[in-house]
Structure 1
Amino acid sequence: MRRTPTRRAAAFFDVDGTVINVTSMFRFLEYRLAAEGHPPSAYRHERQRLKAMTAAGVPRAETNRAYFASYAGADVREIARLAEDWFRDELRSGAFFNEHVVAAVREHQRDGDLVVLVSGSFRACLAPIARHLDADIVLCSDPDTADGTYTGRVEVPMIGEAKAEAVRTLTTRGALDLAASTAYGDHVSDLPLLRMTGRAVVVGDDPVMREQARRHGWPLWPRTPADTLAAG
């Protein structure tokens, strides 16, 4: 008699503002520009440019694309090396990880669940985070490269519905049980992901997300300890 393969539960984690208490793309950009010898104003200018896009109502996927435009011509290996240095510095500074969420990662691992990071950030930033957490899979924005350098383009930013589509593809290939799975997120762009699983957890204090949590009966977790918020 042919046996039906067992479908595995998974835990899907947004990263920025969920697993970690900061936005990896911007923290790394600041670190990278300083390491390359740019003045602090270079980061402030780039950050304000992207903030202005958001304030003007530009979709988050487009601001994600605009972020990666600044990497045009950057060496892929050098960016990866800088990202490793950045991650070590963040760990030394403390309060980088949301310990509530890290504890959930460890619990899912003990239960044998597949741990998947799903992020609009990119692999250079996420690789040391995934390694530190022993995550199984990273689904993320993958900027285009050519001849070992970034082109400044990204075809599919891992934002909003793209997260849900990536999880659907992974579920089909990996025989996952979404009804038995859990998703964690902090931003409205995570809602397509959170709505896919049998259980969802909202992290942080976004008012729209808090209302969604109330409506659906999802747990609400703090982003970071109160004393850290007060200090920062």
Structure 2
Amino acid sequence: MRVAIFDFDGTLYAEETFKLLMTHLKEHPIYKTNYSRFYRSIVPPYIANKLKLYPTSKMKARSMQLYLEAFSGISTAEMDAYFEELKDKMQKDFNQDVIERLEKHQSDDVHILLVSGAYTQFLQRVTAGLTFNQIIGTDIPYKEDKIDIHSPISHVNGTRKTENILKILKDQQIDWENSFAYGDSYSDLPVLELVGNPVAVKPEEKLRNVAKERGWEII
């Protein structure tokens, strides 16, 4: 079985998810009252990260954990509705070149995975209309169908992406040499190195340099 692994931010989606989520919360008619508290809480880890005192991976995970505190006690259906509000806006910024690749892989019966650090529930809502065999993201913890802000999230980032991919596919015979992966960031390198056909999508400079050195495709 061949696979095609797609990153989300900067790859399928041309922008940054978390910036959009922050704006959505800030302007939301129901939940905007929680924005100020959320913003104050993320300032310390953000500043520490800029001063290189706090790793970027931990800062991102902490920010996502704090974001959920604005929705304490919200049900699955209510969060679905909140994320659904972003779908049309986000899909306008989907990279059409990447969409064409995805559709080509589907027609070739390639097993397609979307792998991202974004919330899994969010990814399911905003990619409605696209077909993935599996979506790997950061799960939102619920307890009795209410968001449980006291349970820590397991942020899917860096090497954890690769670990989750291998775990999900462990019972399959994968033709890695003839498989594909798409990413835009140097942090996607472990995933790109899994396959024989890595593709750098509008890559940041560090990944672009690696792609050029190794002769990888760049789109």
TM-score bracket, shorter-length normalisation: 0.7 to 0.9
SS in 2 for 1:132: coil
Cα separation, 1, equivalents of 2:164 and 2:116: 11
Query: 1:210 Cα shift?
Result: 0.6
Aligned-CA RMSD value: 2.4
Change in CA separation of 1:53 and 1:198 when aligned onto 2, cut-off 3 Å:
farther
What CA distance in whole angstroms lies between the structure 1 residues aligned with 2:44 and 2:85?
A: 26
Contact persistence 1:32–1:82 (CA under 8 A) = no
Secondary structure at the residue paired with 2:114?
Answer: strand
142, 145, 159: which one pairs with 2:142? 145
Q: CA deviation at 1:41?
A: 7.5
Deviations 1:27-85 (A, max 9, x none): 12321332135279748667755643442333333123212223131513212111011
Structure 1 counterpart of 2:50, which letter?
A
Pair 1:38-2:32 in alignment? yes
- What is the letter of the counterpart of residue 192 of structure 2? L
Task: Give the TM-score taking structure 2 as reference length.
Answer: 0.85
Query: How far 1:18 moved relative to its partner?
Result: 0.3
Whole-Å separation in 2 of the counterparts to 1:135 and 1:53: 37
Corresponding residue for residue 55 of structure 2 = 59
8 Å Cα contact 1:160-1:189 kept in structure 2: yes
Q: Is the 8 A contact 2:118 2:137 kept in 1?
A: yes
- Matched-pair contact (CA < 8 Å) for 2:140–2:147: yes
| Partner residue of 2:172 out of 171, 174, 177 | 174
Aligned partners of 2:18, 2:109: CA distance in 1, in Å?
Answer: 30
Query: Is this contact kept in 1: 2:26–2:35, CA < 8 A?
Result: no
Q: SS where residue 173 of structure 1 aligns?
A: coil
Please list the CA deviations of residues 102-153 of structure 1 after superposition, one character each: whole Å capped at 9, or x if unmatched: 1110111111101100000012220024432111110111132223233335
Mapped pair 1:115 → 2:109: no
Sequence identity (%): 20
Secondary structure class of the residue paired with 1:210: helix
Q: 2:154 aligns with which of 156, 159, 173?
A: 156
| C-alpha distance 137-161 of structure 1, shift in aligned 2 (>3 A) | same
1: distance between equivalents of 2:16 and 2:180?
A: 22
Once the two structures are TM-superposed, the CA of residue 182 in structure 1 deviates from its matched residue by 0.7
Unmatched 5+ residue regions in structure 2? none
Pick from 3, 6, 9: which aligns with 1:16? 9
Cα distance in 2 between the residues matched to 1:160 and 1:187? 10
Deviation at 1:215, TM superposition (A): 1.7
